[in-house]
Chain A
Amino acid sequence: MRLWALIWQSLFSRRLSVVLTLVTLALSVALFLSVTRLQNAARNSFERSIAGVDLIVSARASDLQVLLYSVFRLGDPINNLSWESFEQWSADPRIAWSVPISLGDSHRGFRVMGTTNAYFDHVLYGNNQSLAFASGKGLDDLFDVVLGAGVAQKLGYGLNDRLVVSHGTVSTGNSEHDDLPFRVSGILEPTGTSIDQTLLVSLEAIEAIHLGWQTGRKLASGNADQLRQAELQPTQITAAFVGLNNRLRIFHVQRAVNSYDEEALTAVVPGVAFARLWSIVGVAEQAFRAIAVLIVVLSILAMITMILTTLSERRREMAIYRSLGATPLVIAMMLLSEALVIAFGGCLTGWLFVQATSRIGASMLQERLGLLLPQHWLTWGELWVLLAILASAGAAAIIPAALVYRSTLADGLTVRS
Chain B
Amino acid sequence: MIEPASAENITTDSLAPSDGGQDGAPGDSSRAPLLELTGLKFSYGAGSAFQLTVDHFAVEAGQTVLLLGESGTGKSTLLNLITGVARQQAGEIKIVGQKMRADKPAQADRLRGQHIGLIYQSLNLLPYTSVKQAVVMALAFSSLRRKRIRGPVDQEVKRLLNLLNLDATALFDRPVVALSAGQQQRVAAARALIGRPELIVADEPTSALDSKNQARFLDLVLGSLDRSSQSLLMVSHDERIAPLFDRVVRIEELTA
Contacts and interface: CB of A to CB of B under 8 A. Distances in A.
Interface of A: 1-3, 5-6, 9-10, 12-13, 316-317, 320-330, 409, 412-417
Contacts of A322: 109
Size class of the contact patch on chain B? 20 to 34
Label chain A's interface by main secondary structure.
helix
A263 to B, nearest CB: 82
Contacts, number: 78
A1 B126 contact: no
Residue in A5, A323, A330, A415 whose Cβ sees the most chain B Cβ within 10 Å: A323
A375 B80 CA distance: 62
A317 B137 CA distance: 11
A13 to B, nearest CB: 3
B109 A326 contact: yes
A413 B83 contact: yes
Given A1-B139, A316-B123, A320-B126, A328 B105 contact: yes
B188 to A, nearest CB: 10
A2 B140 contact: yes
Nearest to B118: A323
Contact of A415 (B86, B123, B125): B123
B94 to A, nearest CB: 18
Interface of B: 80, 83, 85-86, 105-106, 109-110, 112-114, 118, 120, 123-129, 133, 136-142, 153, 191
B80 A412 contact: yes
Given A1-B137, A415-B123, A325 B109 contact: yes
Residue in B136, B141, B142 whose Cβ sees the most chain A Cβ within 10 Å: B141
A213 B185 CA distance: 97
Contacts of A324: 113, 118, 137-138, 140-142, 191
B118 A413 contact: yes
A5 B137 CA distance: 9
B120 to A, nearest CB: 6
A126 to B, nearest CB: 58
A9 B106 contact: no
A325 B80 contact: no
Contacts of A317: 126
B109 A13 contact: no
14 contacts: A1-B136, A1-B153, A5-B140, A6-B137, A9-B126, A9-B133, A13-B128, A323-B120, A324-B140, A324-B142, A325-B109, A327-B106, A330-B141, A413-B85
B107 to A, nearest CB: 8
- Which A-B residue pairs are the 9 nearest by beta carbons? A325-B113, A13-B128, A325-B141, A1-B136, A327-B106, A412-B85, A327-B109, A323-B118, A326-B141
